[in-house]
Amino acid sequence: MYVLGIESTAHTFGAGIVEDGKVLSNERDTLKPASGGIVPREAAAHHYRLASTILKNALDSAGIGLKDVDLIGFSQGPGLIPALKVGAQVSAYLSEKYMIRRVGVNHCIAHLEIARACTGIDDPVMLYVSGGNTQVITYLGGRYVVFGETEDIGVGNLIDKIGRRMGIPFPAGPKIEKLAAAGKKYSSLPYSVKGMDVSFSGIETYVSRMPGKDSAEDVAFSLQETVFAMLIEASERAMAYCKKDSLVITGGVAANARLNEMGSVMCRERSARFERIPLEYAGDNGAMIAHTAYLMRDYKQNDFVVKPRYRTDMVEITYR
């Protein structure tokens, strides 16, 4: 069974092909604004402009044509409405023209499912960290349950905002990580963990008012050490509460080596298992949508409206 997955929730338009759960191709292009963050209409224009090329590349790389596709999955939400509509409209057009069934996929759950598949860990606590989302999640009773989350902005958004103040273009994560690796002095930043929830807005405000005596390297170092410690503390608490002995980190910020190192150390001290997700599947991509659509292949769906606030815990999981 060949499944085409289309990702278009924010800055990335991606297309991936999966055959019976095996990834055959994973093509994408990410909008990189010259300044500032993502403007939704600019993201949508980027996706429309590149959609046909990325789809063709994904099909060619997999060695198949649209006539071979059995199912189309698209990101139904959460995300930016103009960007989400591109994937929905492209999938609707292909579905109607080629008579292919389609299914709407929750973007967050796709990050979770590709992480489970890549790491081989079936039932972990999952730390899902991206630009718009920061959640501590595990599977219980037919749903993914959110045990903790950000009370304000996503950790990726925080890093990008501080990056802009430092003159770093979007996305700021890779540059912040590089600067942090060279940092030597830690400055205490607001540390806000409330049970299993976290809050980042105070850190953004504090860093914006820091005197210029700290180097960019030391600011980045202090930022990462503080924020990642908060996330790993919340994740460890969820592992203890749920009595689960494994952790997986997924989402765009899962590309950060230091965050993975801290997760690995925590798990080692708990005699728990930790596996790092491959870099290719950390950020937004079409393969994760295709993989999750494949898992949902028996699901009968009639609602294809985009859902910008489509939470992880709103979805009933019928395939586990």
Percent of the chain scoring above 90 in pLDDT = 92
Going by the DSSP 8-state scheme, the letter that residue 171 receives in this structure is S
Beta bridge partner(s), residue 250: 128
Amino acid identity of residue 29, one-letter, is D
Query: What average pLDDT does the segment 206-230 reach?
Result: 92
**CA–CA gap between residue 276 and residue 3 (Å, rounded):** 25
Q: In the prediction, which pLDDT does 213 show?
A: 80
Q: In what order do the strands lie in the sheet with 71-77?
A: 22-30, 12-19, 2-7, 71-77, 101-106
Q: In the prediction, which pLDDT does 34 show?
A: 79
pLDDT digits (tens, 9 = 90+) for 148-169: 999 999 999 999 999 999 999 9
Residues 6+ apart with CB under 8 A from 119: 248, 275, 276, 277
Going by the DSSP 8-state scheme, the letter that residue 313 receives in this structure is G
Mean residue pLDDT of the chain comes to 96
Domains and CATH numbers, the chain: 2-110+281-314 (3.30.420.40), 121-274 (3.30.420.40)
Do residues 23 and 285 lie in contact, with contact meaning Cβ atoms separated by under 8 Å?
A: no
Predicted confidence band at 208 (pLDDT cuts at 50, 70, 90)? confident
Using DSSP, state whether 274 is helix, strand or coil. strand
- pTM of the model as a whole: 0.96
Question: How do strand 71-77 and strand 273-274 relate by DSSP bridges?
Answer: unpaired
Residue 211 has pLDDT above 80, yes or no: no
Do residues 54 and 96 lie in contact, with contact meaning Cβ atoms separated by under 8 Å?
A: no
Amino acid identity of residue 44, one-letter, is A
Q: In the prediction, which pLDDT does 27 show?
A: 98
Residue 246 has pLDDT above 90, yes or no: yes
**CA–CA gap between residue 238 and residue 307 (Å, rounded):** 28
Token representation of residue 283: 């950020």
For residue 78, cis peptide bond before it (omega within 30 degrees of 0): yes
Token representation of residue 273: 């298992």
pLDDT digits (tens, 9 = 90+) for 76-85: 999 999 999 9
